[in-house]
Structure 1
Amino acid sequence: MFAIIETGGKQYRVQEGWRFNVERLDAAAGSEFVLDKVLLVNNGGTIAVGSPYLDGGKVTCEVLAHGRDKKVVVFKKRRRKDSAVKRGHRQEFTTLKVKAISA
């Protein structure tokens, strides 16, 4: 059984027991978080597709930890203008573990 969910403007394919990172959520580590934007659920060959989301579909997750990703360097240079800008960015994320999928 797997589901396709949407959070943070991105879509993820998840199964029970899987761990995955999403954009930072406002939830304490160790708490339960319910993702209700479920696009599709495949239950052993029976497929339920929403338009765009399934009514009553939800994925229950456990919040494991919060963290920050590796630094991404953004460098912009304008040739012959003596102009250069160097910036860095570290994206914050939340690690989730899927406990249950219901449709």
Structure 2
Amino acid sequence: MFAIIEAGGKQYRVEEGLEFNVDLMKANAGDTLAIDKVLLVDAKGDTKIGAPYVDGAKVECEVLGHTRGKKVIVFHKLPKKDARKTQGHRHDYTQLKVKSITA
């Protein structure tokens, strides 16, 4: 059984036991989240597609913690002028683990 959910404006394909990262959420480690924005549920060939969401479907997730992504270096250089600028960015994520999918 798998589902396609929407979290933070992005879509994720999830299965039970899967660990994945979403954009930072206001939740503490150990909390349980119920995501009800389920776009599709597939249970052994029986597929339910929402318009836009499947009614009564939800995905229960456990918050494992918060983490940060790899550092991205942004370097700007203007040719023929001695102008350079370097910036860095690390994105914040929340780690989730899927406990159950109900349709």
> What aligned pairs does 1:78-97 form with structure 2 within 5 A after superposition?
78-97=78-97
Runs (4+) of structure 1 exceeding 2 A deviation are: none
Residue-by-residue CA offset, 1:7-50 (whole Å, 9 max, x unaligned): 11211100001111111111110010111111100011000001
The separation in 1 between residues aligned to 2:50 and 2:4, in whole angstroms, is 10
Q: Which residue in the other structure is 2:6 paired with?
A: 6
The separation in 2 between residues aligned to 1:9 and 1:76, in whole angstroms, is 29
Using the TM superposition, name which of 79-88 and 3-12 deviates more: 79-88
Identity of aligned residues (%): 57
The separation in 2 between residues aligned to 1:56 and 1:82, in whole angstroms, is 60
Using the TM superposition, name which of 73-82 and 55-64 deviates more: 73-82
Q: Which residue in the other structure is 1:44 paired with?
A: 44
Amino acid at match of 2:61: C
Amino acid at match of 2:17: G
Q: Which residue in the other structure is 1:56 paired with?
A: 56
The count of corresponding residues between Structure 1 and Structure 2 is 103
The separation in 1 between residues aligned to 2:75 and 2:47, in whole angstroms, is 45
The separation in 1 between residues aligned to 2:5 and 2:76, in whole angstroms, is 35
Which runs of no fewer than 5 residues in structure 2 stay unpaired? none
Q: CA deviation at 1:63?
A: 0.3
Q: TM-score w.r.t. structure 2 length? A: 0.94
Which runs of no fewer than 5 residues in structure 1 stay unpaired? none
